[in-house]
Structure 1
Amino acid sequence: MNTRPAITLVLGDITDQHVDALVNAANSSLLGGGGVDGAVHRRGGKAILDDCRRLRASRYGKGLPTGRAVATTAGELHAEHVIHTVGPVHSATEDRSDLLASCYRESLRVAGELGARSVAFPAISTGIYGWPMDDGARIAVRTVLESAPASVTDVRFVLFDRAAYQAFETALAEQG
Structure 2
Amino acid sequence: MPCRWLLAPGKALRTRFARPLRCDVNNSRRMLSFLSSMSPDNAELRAEVARTRLSVAVGCITEVRGADAIVNCANEHLVGTQLPYINLDGAAGCVFHCVDGVVHKRAGPELHEACMSLAIEEGSYTETWGGIRCPSGQARVTPAFSLPHCAHIVHVVGPPWPSDAEELRDAYSAGIKAALAVEGPEARPAIRSLAVPAISSGIYQWPRDMSWAAAVQSLGGHLLEASLRRGGAGELPCPQDGARSGLDHVIFSAWDAASGREVEECLRRWVDGTLTEDGLL
Show the counterpart of 1:124: 199
Q: Of 253, 257, 269, which residue of structure 2 is paired with 1:158?
A: 253
User: Does the 8 Å contact 2:78/2:134 carry over to 1?
Assistant: yes
Q: Which structure 1 segments of 5+ residues have no match?
A: none
Q: Which structure 2 segments of 5+ residues have no match?
A: 1-32, 38-44, 82-93, 125-130, 183-188, 227-244, 272-281
What's the TM-score, normalizing by structure 1? 0.89
Number of aligned pairs? Answer: 173
Show the counterpart of 2:57: 10
**The 10-residue stretch of structure 1 (67-76 or 142-151) with the greater mean CA deviation from structure 2:** 142-151
- Identify which of structures 1 and 2 has the higher relative contact order when contacts are C-alpha pairs closer than 8 Å and 6+ apart: 1
1:9-65 Cα offsets, whole Å, 9 max, x none, are 111010112321110001111011151011000000122111100014588842311
Is 1:108 aligned to residue 176 of structure 2? yes
Classify the secondary structure of the residue corresponding to 1:55.
coil
Q: Of 49, 57, 76, which residue of structure 1 is paired with 2:146?
A: 76
Q: Distance in 2 between matches of 1:46 and 1:154?
A: 29
Runs (4+) off by over 6 Å: none
* Percent identity between the two aligned chains: 33
Show the counterpart of 2:134: 64
Is 1:135 aligned to residue 210 of structure 2? yes
1:61-80 Cα offsets, whole Å, 9 max, x none, are 42311110010010111211
What's the TM-score, normalizing by structure 2? 0.57
Is 1:86 aligned to residue 154 of structure 2? no
Show the counterpart of 1:22: 70
Classify the secondary structure of the residue corresponding to 2:151.
strand
Q: Distance in 1 between matches of 2:132 and 2:179?
A: 23
- CA 1:155 to 1:79, structure 2 compared with 1: closer, same or farther past 3 Å? same
Instruction: Name the structure with the higher strand share.
Output: 1
Give the letter for the 2:217 counterpart. Answer: R
Is 1:43 aligned to residue 90 of structure 2? no
User: Does the 8 Å contact 2:137/2:156 carry over to 1?
Assistant: yes
